[in-house]
Amino acid sequence: MLPALNELATQVAALFIDENAGEPTCPIWFADSLKEPEALAQELAPRDHAWLKAIDFKPAPGNWALLPGEDGLGGVVFGRDGHDWASPLQAGSLPPVLPKGGYHFAGAAENPELAAIAWALGAYAFQHYQSNGARGERRLRLPPGVSKPDIVSIAAAIWLGRDLINTPANDLGPAELEDAARGVASHFGAKCDVITGDDLLAENFPLIHAVGRASSREPRLIDIRWGDEAAPKVTLIGKGICFDTGGLNIKPGGSMALMKKDMGGAATALSLAAMIMSAGLGLRLRVLIPTAENSISGNAFRPGDVLKSRAGLTVEVGDTDAEGRLVLADALALADAEQPESLFSFATLTGSARVALGPELPPVYSTDAALAAALTETGRRLGDPMWPMPFWQPYDMLLDSRIANVSSIYPEPFAGSVMAALFLKRFVKAATRYTHFDIYGWVPKPQPGKPHGGEPQAARAVFDHLKRTFPRA
């Protein structure tokens, strides 16, 4: 069983030494690669400068060097680059490599709060199936003025999302994802309702049921509500396909290997929801997670089937491996019915997004161009990047079906991410603004503050935007 949110918060809190605590700590000096090497000499003792010169230390981003002291470690010099997109989280490179002990930032960090968050994000390790190692063996004295509760709540929420994505499907199916969602809701006193199995048909969620009916693990729709009903409505939807075989359009083995992460959208929505509720933002939050396994059996849905959706639109199934957009469609129709001010969907939806932008840069689609631009800038500033892509309306007609209201795919190998986003947009009519993230949910190569494995992409950037738009109630 994975650690609950309160356990994760305790683990994150243990990474930090309170500002006024008497525990001795070792200084970390930042060396800016854009400055002359002599500039660092003004901040260090002559013997330290001589040592760096002797070992030919170059302050390139991510480079680090240990400074000898009289009785052991005397300090750390760490290279950074203010022009690097990863620079906001560069301090997250340190916890995995430094000797055990306590540290503090000797020089001024450009953004002390973000540097502390980076430290916590870099200290994460998924060790649920291992007995060796422990998180929290490198501790940081919080920079002056940084709120420990704020740091802990953000980092713990990201750790939660990472744990969920990293957990293999044998231990994380729809029922276990429901347990995790109920745990988050209970932690904040939110209401959580779940519709399961054949009840999805009775409650008019036919697409969710169709995608999940072939699995022995029943599909379900998770519905979390929190906050003042009179406050502005913000709704999050996360794709929760706990494993995706591709259905009857079965994936090749190599493409199936990482499909435990196909619930990365759900993990991202839960991470973001935890941040929102912890901060007590002045909004009415709803979280919808359609969750299922896309499996193969005698009753699996087929290519060419025509399925009715909650919105009343009939959908011709072009490919059973394009199942995520189907479950999202029913959830979007439910969310749209109450006309939220902001509607966000998160999904590991298309390989086309990775072909276009790679694994680190998820596309963001929005009916509000100014919002997409603001989120992109926020993501750049926080080291949670994204890139705006268009709901290109001239392509919408390519989804027309000869026998149904809409086809689930466009069969040509063009603009796959755009076509998927346009499909989803057909189920949103009343929301003031709709924003969709086609995330990868995974870090294939470790980065500062982002270890290899699951990553709830865009969660921190969206939270920062919502925090400024809907401040604490």
**Residue 381 confidence (pLDDT) above 90:** yes
| Stretch among 24-33, 259-268, 273-282, 371-380 having the lowest mean pLDDT | 24-33
Indicate the length of the chain as a whole number. 473
Please give the backbone phi and psi of residue 340, each rounded to the nearest 5 degrees, phi first. Answer: -65, 155
- The CATH number linked to 135 is 3.40.220.10
360 lies in the same domain as 305:
yes
Is residue 240 located within the same domain as residue 278?
yes
Instruction: Please name which of 290, 67, 101 lies closest in space to residue 177, comparing C-alpha atoms.
Output: 290
Q: What pLDDT sits at residue 130?
A: 87
Banded model confidence at residue 57, pLDDT cuts 50, 70, 90: confident
pTM metric for this prediction? 0.96
The answer on pLDDT for 36 being more than 60 is no
Packing angle, helices 148-166 and 264-279, rounded to 10: 160
Q: What is the pLDDT of residue 80?
A: 76
Question: Quick one: tokens of 167?
Answer: 């957990």
pLDDT at 297 over 60: yes
For 388-428, the pLDDT digits (tens) are 999 999 999 999 999 999 999 999 999 999 999 999 999 99
Q: Kindly state whether residues 134 and 162 are assigned to the same domain.
A: no
How large a percentage of the chain has pLDDT more than 70? 95
pLDDT of residue 88: 87
Single residue among 102, 128, 146 that ends a domain in this structure: 146
Amino acid at 200: L
How far is Cα 234 from Cα 404, in angstroms, rounded to an integer?
Answer: 32
Assess whether 141 and 200 both reside in one domain.
Answer: no
E strands of 331-415, at which residues? 342-347, 363-366, 387-388, 406-407
174 and 76 inside one domain = no
237 forms bridges with which residues in the sheet?
288, 345
Question: Which of the listed residues 124, 146, 168 is the one where a domain comes to its end?
Answer: 146
- Using the CB atoms, write b or e for 155-182: b if 16+ within 10 Å: bbbbbbbbbbbbbebeebbbebbbebbe
Residues 159 and 307 in one domain: yes
Is 304 found in the same domain as 171?
yes
Domain boundary among 146, 164, 192: 146
Q: Catalytic amino acids? A: 251, 325
CA atoms within 13 A on the CB side of 224: 33
| Coil, helix or strand at residue 20 | coil
**Whether residue 287 sits in one domain with residue 191:** yes
CATH number at residue 168: 3.40.630.10
User: CA-CA distance, 76 to 99, in Å (whole number)?
Assistant: 10
Rounded mean pLDDT, 345-371: 97
The domain in which residue 415 lies consists of 154-469
Q: What is the pLDDT of residue 31?
A: 80
Domain identity same for 137 and 183: no
Q: What are the tens digits of pLDDT across the range 101-117?
A: 999 998 666 788 999 99
Residue the block writes with tokens 């009785």: 71
Q: Give yes or no: residues 90 and 111 share one domain.
A: yes
In the numeric block, which tokens belong to residue 27? 């200084």
- Using 50, 70 and 90 to split pLDDT, how confident is the model at 72? confident
Whether residues 195 and 334 fall in one domain? yes
Phi and psi torsions of 315, nearest 5°: -120, 125
> Domain check: are 25 and 45 in the same one?
yes
Please report the pLDDT score of residue 131 as a whole number: 73
Total number of domains constituting the chain: 2
- The DSSP line for 285-351 is EEEEEEEEEE--STT---TT-EEE-TTS-EEE-S-TT--HHHHHHHHHHHHHTT--SEEEEEE---H
Q: Residue 70's pLDDT is what?
A: 84
User: Between the ranges 37-41, 83-87, 125-129, where is the mean pLDDT highest?
Assistant: 125-129
Give 463's pLDDT tier (boundaries 50, 70, 90).
Answer: very high
